[in-house]
Amino acid sequence: MFEMDLKLKKERIRLLLIIILVIISCLLIYYFEIILKTSILVAHFFYFPSILACLWWKRKGLFIPVFLAIILIIFNLIPEYDFFNLETLNNFLRAISLIMVGIVVCFLSEHIAKREIEFNVIMEDLRRSNEDLQQFAYVASHDLQEPLRAIVSFSQLLEDKYQDKMDKDGKEFIHFITDGAKKMNTLIKDLLSYSRITTHAKPSKITNIEEVLKDALYNLQESIKESGAVITYDQLPILKVDKTQFTQLFQNLISNAIKFRREEPPRIHIGLIKVKDEWMFSVKDNGIGIESKYFGKLFNIFYRLHTKEEYPGTGIGLPICKKIVQRYAGKIWVVSEIGKGTTFYFTVPEKIKSRKN
């Protein structure tokens, strides 16, 4: 009901504007053509209401250029009473031109409106497909955890109960089953975390990003202590964000900096600079570095540069970071050099408007 009232009000405003423009144009024509008897190109004022009418009302709007074309001819005939002079012929051509412009604008307006409807349908289908896919990922990953837990539990029971009766191969097979189920469970949990970024996102609130960083460092205190990492940071701003997701963003980036370290203790710095209307954050380390040919693949889901034996993980940490940053209309990228370290940059607008998807 509210939308219908708004649409009706909008149409009334448009009609009023067209009427005002038509009246002004007619008064100008009357003043210059009848009173001053000048051939100034005041007829061009008729184009503006004609174009607007055809743009807004499509074929129905053709009434305005036809009406104005008739008015143009009548105003020319009033003082002359001569159908065959050059000025009359000129105004006839102007009238025809006015109608032709109206027809062209009408055609283009209908074509654009048609394409806009098609685009909206495609976007709606895409939005619905995206929601269905996210819901499927969440449900699938949630429901798959139960049978995997059963596999792990019964494998361990089997190993405990028949340990004395199994030979070396049997024990190895049980170990493979248990280990594979645990790895699959880890992958599913990570996939669940990835899908929850949009399906379970919390409303954005005014948040001190420095407190968010401290929460991330607290969660990583064991690995920080074990690695001897030295972490420094600039003064950070206050933004309207989802605190949980931004904690996860910093935690994933800092965790990677600690994980992919060299023999010397990690030195990590969280930087911040203002670029126009954006905040650009950076997480810089002195780790092993990344070859430039892999930069474009790092944010692909489950993509790994190293084997699980070298570095543990599922390869979903950076895709989660990317999705969090994109939720706030930001960008994330990496700059690195082998043996010298890596810097991850991400931007967020100064005035954040979060996206649902």
Separation between Cα atoms, residue 57 and residue 14, nearest integer Å = 10
Of 78, 86, 75, nearest to 42 by C-alpha is 75
Domain of 249, CATH number, reads: 3.30.565.10
Q: Are strands 267-275 and 278-284 parallel, antiparallel or unpaired?
A: antiparallel
**pLDDT tens digit sequence for 302-347:** 777 777 667 777 788 899 999 999 988 899 999 999 989 999 999 9
Distance CA 261, CA 239 (A): 31
Same domain, 22 and 8: yes
Q: What is the pTM of this model?
A: 0.59
147 and 121 in a common domain: no
Q: Do both 108 and 148 map to the same domain?
A: no
Closest alpha carbon to 213 in 233, 193, 198:
233
3-state secondary structure of 167: coil
Domain housing 298: 205-349
Using an 8 Å Cβ cutoff, are 209 and 238 in contact?
A: yes
Query: Is there a single domain that holds both residue 224 and residue 328?
Result: yes
Q: Is the residue at 315 inside a domain?
A: yes
Q: Are 47 and 98 in contact (CB under 8 A)?
A: yes
Shared domain check, 80 and 35: yes
Q: Are residues 210 and 184 in the same domain?
A: no
Q: What is the pLDDT of residue 25?
A: 73
In-domain check, residue 131: no
The reported pLDDT for the residue numbered 356 is 47
Q: What is the pLDDT of residue 77?
A: 60
Mean pLDDT by 10 residues, the chain (357 residues): 69 81 74 62 69 80 80 63 56 74 82 86 81 69 72 79 77 79 73 69 86 93 92 93 91 93 92 91 94 86 74 81 90 92 93 54
Question: Count of domains in the chain?
Answer: 3
